[in-house]
């Protein structure tokens, strides 16, 4: 095959795009178009099929196929003569990705990235797959043969292809045709069935669910923590959470040197990951470890939160501060995993140069399971973490002494690693993913009290409000999807509104700045007005009238990310408690009922939506603090509240601005010179105000 050499490279249309993923293909010989009218018009005018290729910048196999096929002159010539080729960043256009991922799964039984689909000029899919090799292997045809065959079929049997594609479009529309159930009522059935399903798939030996590849699935953990809280006596649900979190933080999926989690483990042991780091994974896991800390008091969970947050602020935050980048690539110049892995000689040399004694180096190597043979390619080692007590005993140290030794070693290894060729960063800022980060940092602040977390959450929220939101001519607050190099782009999708509104509510509860709650209410109103299905319940992924989409998606499946419908439901339920506006609660219950039949059939696929159900049925507590901000007695009562895991609750600080928002402020504004009080209400009744820490603990436990 003939590769596109450096000297022969010339730019295609993608050179004008902002997406780092699209820019990676800007010098391919393929005549790429971005998703848009120009490409669609060409396909219709020339009556050519569309080749749609979807991926993202940190996707390993996307890079492989790009190098093998999209940089190849012969393949490019076939594509350029016979197809209109469109490249899409799935992170910029999750709406496009959702439609064609579902269609490829329907056609082939599986999906993933790179996602390659073939469409009619009417954008209806008729064939697709994921990675295609450059030559036939492993039972897969070569990509060149695939595109030649499709091109020939389009010319010889176009009518049949168009009919098949139209049937696929109709099937997709049926797939997303969720309607409110008239024969069902909201009850605990999906909660109990979800618990049974997760218990049945739990890996008792290594934690997590299923076998390999194994994903973190934080939504499962959020559900189980709430299940445990509701049952009070369900040790198995908590054990599933602890085993999973413990195994992940000790495994290779966790970056033992720099902090932060990789995408997923290729094995059931959490040892060998795909090495990309995604912002959303880490935001969700910061939340999971923070919540688990409140339930268990495990100090190791606090360490993981601290290290992961430090990593995100150090390596993922935009240079000007505020917003967070999307991802770090799996690959570096030396190959996937080489940046994060170590030979025994490399580790020894790095520590020896900083004055570590031989016995100290041996203890560090044993703690991280570093051997001369290695546990990864080429004799390299993916670092894992053994038990502190075990290694301390074997090395004649106390656990505290070993903690200090490992901490110093990590700092040295991190500095040493920074001299290596680093994986690239996808430096676009996505509204929804940053909304998750606002939630994560806010919850970390509440759990651990570190002002750095609150400051970072506020900076992130302000960045989104300043760079990715605007008020239109009608005064409606609208969001954009992404920001890069000074420019916001793309219409936001449901998850952007839901995740960011939820993050702003979390930020209000962390710092009691009512302006954030006000913005959350504004965003929720836009979300309801433009995305909700008033007839059949639930929320659509896109606004009405979104161009060039053959299906208006409405789904609640919780994958690596919680679904927009799940978090939108939770936002509405939380705002219903805060504002006493029953329209919010109705919107949430209508959403639950829209997906009720699907949830009862397969509850473990909707764990985040069931978290919203747990909130609805969990007799949420409305907690109002009345006192002088910053006073020691007031802060002491707030500390008591934040030391308890209270998933089904809303927390408010009584002041004049909140009195406009919430009727719960009535007669509860702070009194001059009076001691602080905390009002705990639930199920339309309130207890006597708590004035002491003992009284408050009792009120929160009831």
β pairing state of 33-34 and 477-484? unpaired
Q: How many whole angstroms separate alpha carbon 251 and alpha carbon 53?
A: 33
Q: How many whole angstroms separate alpha carbon 299 and alpha carbon 313?
A: 21
Q: For 153-169, what is the HEC assignment?
A: HHHHCHHHHHHHHHHHH
% pLDDT > 90, the chain: 86
pLDDT interval class at 317 (50, 70, 90)? very high
- Phi and psi at 274, nearest 5°, equal -80, 130
CATH architecture of residue range(s) 619-702 = 3-Layer(aba) Sandwich (3.40)
β pairing state of 649-653 and 621-626? parallel
Residues 6+ apart with CB under 8 A from 115: 52, 53, 54, 55, 90, 97, 100, 101, 104, 128, 130
Residues 6+ apart with CB under 8 A from 320: none
Helices and strands (H, E) in the chain, number of each type: 27, 20
Residues 6+ apart with CB under 8 A from 206: 214, 243, 247, 268, 269, 270
Specify the pLDDT at position 598: 94
C-beta of residue 590 within 8 angstroms of C-beta of residue 180: yes
Distance of CA 271 to the CA centre of its chain: 21
Inter-axis angle of helices 158-175 and 143-156, nearest 10: 110
Task: Single out the residue of 554, 550, 521 nearest to residue 535, CA to CA.
Answer: 554
Binning the chain into helix, strand and coil, the percentages to the nearest 5 are 50, 15, 35
- Exposed, middle or buried by CB within 10 Å (0-12, 13-18, 19+), for 37? exposed
State the residue for tokens 């600080």. 653
Domain 6-175 has CATH 3.40.30.10: yes
Average confidence (pLDDT) over 635-643: 97
pLDDT by residue (tens digit) across 583-600?
999 999 999 999 999 999
388 vs 357, more confident: 357
Average confidence (pLDDT) over 403-425: 95
Q: How many whole angstroms separate alpha carbon 482 and alpha carbon 485?
A: 10
pLDDT at residue 395 above 90?
A: no
Specify the pLDDT at position 89: 97
pLDDT by residue (tens digit) across 88-106?
999 999 999 999 999 999 9
pLDDT at residue 7 above 50?
A: no
Q: 405-410, long-range: CB within 8 Å, 24+ apart, which pairs?
A: 405/360, 405/363, 405/364, 406/364, 406/367, 409/351, 409/356, 409/360, 409/364, 410/256, 410/257
pLDDT at residue 185 above 80?
A: yes
C-beta of residue 598 within 8 angstroms of C-beta of residue 554: no
pLDDT by residue (tens digit) across 523-560?
999 999 999 999 999 999 999 888 899 999 999 999 99
Q: Is 72 helix (H, G, I), strand (E, B) or coil?
A: strand
pLDDT by residue (tens digit) across 479-497?
999 999 999 999 999 999 9
pLDDT by residue (tens digit) across 107-131?
999 899 999 999 999 999 999 999 9
Average pLDDT value over all residues in the chain: 94
pLDDT interval class at 181 (50, 70, 90)? confident
C-beta of residue 316 within 8 angstroms of C-beta of residue 325: yes
Q: How many whole angstroms separate alpha carbon 647 and alpha carbon 291?
A: 9
Q: How many whole angstroms separate alpha carbon 68 and alpha carbon 72?
A: 7
pLDDT at residue 233 above 70?
A: no
β pairing state of 327-328 and 425-426? antiparallel
Average confidence (pLDDT) over 199-220: 96
pLDDT by residue (tens digit) across 603-631?
999 999 999 999 999 989 999 999 999 89
Q: How many whole angstroms separate alpha carbon 31 and alpha carbon 38?
A: 13
pLDDT at residue 362 above 90?
A: yes
Q: What is the DSSP letter of 676?
A: P
pLDDT by residue (tens digit) across 17-64?
999 999 999 999 999 999 999 999 999 999 999 999 999 998 889 999
Average confidence (pLDDT) over 390-410: 90
pLDDT by residue (tens digit) across 647-701?
999 999 999 999 999 998 988 998 888 899 999 998 778 889 999 999 999 999 9
Confidence (pTM): 0.95
Count the Cβ atoms, other than its own, within 10 Å of residue 614. Answer: 25
Same fold, 6-175 and 619-702: yes
C-beta of residue 357 within 8 angstroms of C-beta of residue 449: no
Q: How many whole angstroms separate alpha carbon 321 and alpha carbon 318?
A: 5
Specify the pLDDT at position 671: 83
Q: List the chain domain ranges.
A: 6-175, 200-426, 619-702
């Amino acid at each position: 095959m003939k590769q596109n050499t450096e000297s022969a490279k010339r730019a295609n249309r993608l050179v004008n795009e902002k997406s780092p993923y699209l820019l990676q293909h800007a010098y391919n010989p393929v005549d790429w178009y971005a998703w848009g009218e120009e490409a669609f018009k060409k396909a219709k005018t020339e009556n050519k099929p569309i080749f749609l290729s979807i991926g993202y910048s940190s996707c390993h196999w996307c890079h492989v196929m790009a190098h093998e096929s999209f940089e190849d002159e012969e393949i490019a010539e076939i594509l350029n003569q016979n197809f209109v080729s469109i490249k899409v960043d799935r992170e910029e256009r999750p709406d496009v990705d959702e439609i064609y991922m579902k269609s490829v799964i329907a056609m082939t039984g599986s999906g993933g990235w790179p996602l390659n689909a073939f469409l009619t000029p009417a954008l209806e899919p008729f064939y697709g797959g994921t990675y295609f090799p450059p030559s036939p292997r492993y039972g897969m045809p070569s990509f060149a043969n695939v595109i030649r065959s499709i091109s020939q079929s389009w010319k010889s049997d176009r009518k049949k292809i168009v009919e098949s594609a139209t049937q696929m479009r109709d099937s997709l529309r049926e797939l997303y045709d969720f309607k409110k159930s008239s024969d069902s009522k909201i009850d605990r059935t999906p909660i109990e069935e979800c618990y049974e399903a997760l218990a049945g798939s739990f890996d008792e030996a290594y934690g997590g669910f299923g076998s390999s590849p194994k994903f973190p699935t934080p939504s499962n953990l959020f559900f189980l923590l709430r299940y445990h809280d509701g049952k009070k006596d369900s040790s198995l649900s908590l054990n599933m959470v602890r085993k999973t979190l413990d195994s992940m933080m000790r495994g290779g999926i966790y970056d033992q040197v720099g902090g932060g989690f990789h995408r997923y483990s290729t094995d059931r042991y959490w040892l060998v990951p795909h090495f990309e780091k995604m912002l959303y994974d880490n935001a969700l896991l910061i939340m999971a470890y923070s919540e688990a800390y409140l339930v268990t008091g495990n100090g190791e969970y606090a360490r993981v939160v601290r290290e992961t947050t430090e990593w995100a602020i150090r390596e993922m935050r935009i240079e000007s501060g505020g917003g967070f980048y999307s991802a770090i690539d799996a690959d570096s110049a030396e190959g996937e995993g080489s940046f994060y892995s170590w030979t025994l000689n490399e580790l020894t040399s790095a520590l020896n140069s900083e004055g570590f004694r031989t016995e100290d180096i041996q203890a560090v190597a044993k703690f991280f399971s570093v051997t001369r043979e290695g546990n990864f390619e080429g004799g390299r080692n993916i670092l894992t973490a053994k038990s502190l007590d075990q290694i301390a005993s074997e090395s004649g140290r106390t656990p505290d002494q070993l903690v200090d030794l490992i901490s110093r070693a990590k700092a040295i290894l991190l500095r040493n690693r920074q001299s290596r060729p680093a994986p690239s960063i996808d430096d676009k800022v996505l509204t929804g993913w940053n909304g998750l980060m606002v939630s994560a940092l806010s919850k970390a602040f509440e759990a651990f009290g570190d002002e750095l977390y609150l400051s970072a959450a506020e900076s992130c929220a302000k960045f989104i409000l300043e760079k990715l939101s605007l008020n239109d001519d009608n005064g409606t607050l609208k969001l954009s999807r992404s920001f890069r190099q000074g420019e916001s782009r793309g219409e936001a999708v449901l998850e952007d509104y839901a995740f960011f509104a939820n993050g702003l509510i979390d930020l209000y509860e962390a710092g009691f700045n009512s302006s954030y709650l006000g913005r959350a209410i504004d965003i929720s109103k836009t979300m309801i007005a433009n995305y909700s299905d008033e007839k059949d319940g639930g929320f659509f992924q896109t606004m009405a009238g979104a161009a060039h989409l053959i299906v208006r998606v409405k789904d609640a499946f919780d994958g690596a990310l919680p679904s927009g419908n799940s978090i939108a439901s939770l936002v509405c339920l939380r705002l219903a408690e805060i504002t006493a506006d029953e329209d919010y609660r109705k919107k949430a219950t209508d959403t639950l009922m829209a997906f009720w039949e699907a949830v009862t059939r397969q509850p473990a696929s909707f764990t985040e939506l069931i978290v919203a159900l747990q909130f609805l049925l969990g007799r949420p507590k409305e907690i109002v603090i009345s006192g002088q901000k910053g006073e020691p007695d007031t802060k002491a009562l707030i500390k008591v509240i934040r030391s308890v895991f209270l998933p089904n609750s809303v927390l408010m600080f009584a002041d004049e601005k909140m009195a406009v928002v919430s009727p719960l402020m009535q007669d509860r504004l702070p009194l001059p010179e009076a001691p602080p009080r905390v009002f705990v209400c639930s199920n339309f009744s309130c207890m006597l105000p708590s004035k002491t820490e003992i009284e408050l603990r009792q009120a929160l436990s009831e």
